[in-house]
């Protein structure tokens, strides 16, 4: 009888260890192998500048850059949020290329700009996450778009030579989930001669835009994230 009890206790102990390993390793395997590594942050070189809409002449001429520059193919807007599944850290990323809008250039000043993103097209690598995004979190049926409107001109000084990266500060109103707030953020820009590339990110505290915390089920997230964008413009 004593031998049986010892065997029973041994099997119970092994079962507890196996369960603990499953709880720890299961999410690790899912996140790092099944779900895959999160996309890296956007850069000026990703996406590449479009080749259509090129204007001949001196690449630094204000005559070339004056006027309206429309959002072009290859532009991307998305979110990055840290999440934890049973103690395993991960980064959730969702993106959309459904962007419209333009900036207006006069001399060495960007005098205005506005952009709209179709929030219903934002996708990550997980359907369940996208369902939460479109439903409980962003309620894209009620708030199908996100917008940004520049509220202060941006002086670019002398028009930079083609391929030279410059850094500027942007101020505007960002509308998400039906709530509009003023934001200030840094952007990097590059003039390629045929296009303008703009890269930046805006820290977002969800409560500031009345966005519910994205946590659901076994997944917990920070109460903040990053709105990132890499937008291409061509002269129209």
Distance CA 225, CA 81 (A): 5
One domain for residues 1 and 53: no
Average pLDDT in the chain:
81
Q: What pLDDT is stored for residue 15 in this prediction?
A: 44
One domain for residues 53 and 32: no
Which residues sit opposite 168 in a β-bridge? 187
What's the predicted TM-score (pTM) here? 0.78
| Sign of the alpha-carbon dihedral angle for 50, 52, 57, 63 | negative
One domain for residues 18 and 80: no
Distance CA 197, CA 187 (A): 10
- DSSP class of residue 158 equals S
One domain for residues 94 and 136: yes
One domain for residues 74 and 163: yes
Q: In the structure, what pLDDT confidence band is assigned to residue 10 with cuts at 50, 70 and 90?
A: low
Q: Are 113 and 103 in contact (CB under 8 A)?
A: yes
What is the domain range of residue 15?
1-36
Q: Exposed/middle/buried for 21, CB within 10 Å: 0-12, 13-18, 19+?
A: exposed
Judge whether residue 64 has pLDDT over 80.
Answer: no
Of 78, 69, 74, 65, residue with least CA distance to 45: 74
One domain for residues 92 and 125: yes
Tally of domains in the chain: 2
Q: Which of 70-74, 87-91, 219-223 has the highest mean pLDDT?
A: 70-74
One domain for residues 155 and 209: yes
One domain for residues 65 and 109: yes
Q: Are 212 and 206 in contact (CB under 8 A)?
A: yes
One domain for residues 204 and 221: yes
> What is the residue whose two structure tokens read 């039906």?
178
- DSSP class of residue 46 equals B
How far, in whole angstroms, is CA 6 from its chain's centroid? Answer: 56
């Amino acid at each position: 009888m004593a031998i049986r009890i010892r065997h029973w206790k041994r099997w119970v102990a092994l079962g507890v260890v196996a369960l603990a390993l499953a709880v720890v390793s299961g999410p690790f395997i899912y996140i790092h192998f099944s779900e895959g590594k999160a996309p890296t942050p956007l850069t000026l070189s990703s996406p590449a500048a479009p080749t259509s809409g090129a204007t001949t002449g001196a690449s630094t001429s204000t005559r070339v850059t004056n006027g309206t520059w429309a959002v072009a193919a290859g532009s991307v807007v998305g979110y990055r949020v840290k999440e934890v599944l049973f103690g395993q850290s991960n980064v959730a990323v969702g993106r959309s290329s459904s962007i419209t809008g333009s900036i207006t250039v006069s001399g060495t000043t960007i005098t205005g700009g506005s952009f709209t993103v179709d929030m219903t097209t934002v996708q990550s690598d997980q359907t369940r996450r996208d369902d939460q995004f479109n439903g409980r979190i962003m309620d894209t049926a009620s708030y199908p778009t996100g917008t940004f409107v520049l509220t202060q001109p941006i002086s670019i000084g002398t028009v930079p030579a083609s391929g030279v990266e410059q850094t500027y500060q942007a101020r505007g109103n960002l509308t998400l989930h039906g709530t509009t707030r003023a934001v200030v953020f840094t952007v990097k820009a590059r003039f390629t001669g045929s296009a303008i590339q703009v890269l930046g990110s805006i820290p977002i505290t969800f409560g500031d835009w009345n966005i519910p915390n994205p946590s659901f089920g076994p997944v917990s997230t920070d109460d903040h994230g990053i709105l990132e964008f890499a937008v291409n413009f061509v002269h129209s």
